[in-house]
């Protein structure tokens, strides 16, 4: 896991550490010292810590005018033991919402497992984004993670699957990516 870096091709467009509206403004990352780990597996130092001991994040793009944020995740999403959704909601999402972000894209190809608890924070996040015509989309989560979300009925708070899982997002510019995701989300929400 130590060699899995957050997506860096959009750094010409956005750097969360330099964004004065980002919850990660001023974060410094070493290229050589590994300080974060998921259990006994160190992870690349470019990932950001938001309070969870098993899940890390990188805000790889934000467009405040359009109200979008793209976040990449790595690790184990564990609400049962660590209440990761509460930490994500309180420490990242609420900060970004206070600056006008209402459309969240979570990329989960590096989320290895998901352990659920209750759906209180998912419901809260969903309602708050809904009030401002926002949404939460999940892209490229592993099938067993999606199955666990569905088994616990948490998938109702997200737009996920279908074309969103087939999107080759790394080959796109952020603006084109956002347009494609929004088009897919709007098709689903209008059904």
Check residue 170 and give its pLDDT.
94
Check residue 157 and give its pLDDT.
96
- Closest to 104 in 3D by CA, of 126, 131, 78: 126
| pTM exceeds 0.85 | yes
**Alpha carbons 163 and 185: distance in angstroms, whole number:** 10
Helices and strands: H and E segment counts in the chain: 7, 7
CB 55 within 8 A of CB 78: yes
pLDDT band at 191 (very low <50, low <70, confident <90, very high): low
Asked whether residue 35 carries a pLDDT value surpassing 90, the answer given is no
Comparing 43 with 139, which gets the higher pLDDT?
139
**Alpha carbons 170 and 97: distance in angstroms, whole number:** 25
pLDDT band at 46 (very low <50, low <70, confident <90, very high): very high
What is the CATH architecture assignment of 49-189? 2-Layer Sandwich (3.30)
Check residue 188 and give its pLDDT.
81
């Amino acid at each position: 896991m130590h060699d899995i870096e957050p997506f860096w091709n959009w750094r010409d467009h956005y750097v969360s550490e330099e964004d004065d509206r980002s919850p990660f403004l001023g974060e410094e990352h070493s290229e050589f010292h590994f300080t974060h780990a998921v259990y006994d597996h160190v992870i690349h130092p470019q990932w950001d810590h938001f309070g969870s001991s098993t899940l890390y994040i990188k805000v790889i793009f934000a467009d405040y005018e359009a109200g979008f944020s793209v976040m990449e995740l790595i690790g184990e999403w564990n609400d049962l033991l660590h209440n990761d959704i509460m930490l994500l909601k309180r420490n990242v999402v609420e900060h970004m919402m206070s600056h006008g972000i209402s459309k969240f894209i979570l990329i989960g190809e590096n989320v290895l497992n998901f352990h659920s608890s209750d759906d209180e924070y998912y419901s809260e996040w969903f309602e708050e984004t809904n009030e401002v015509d926002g949404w939460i989309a999940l892209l490229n989560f592993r099938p067993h993670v999606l199955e666990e979300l569905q088994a616990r009925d948490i998938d109702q708070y997200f737009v996920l699957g279908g074309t969103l899982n087939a999107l080759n997002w790394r080959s796109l510019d952020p603006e084109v990516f956002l347009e494609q995701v929004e088009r897919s989300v709007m098709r689903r929400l209008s059904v």
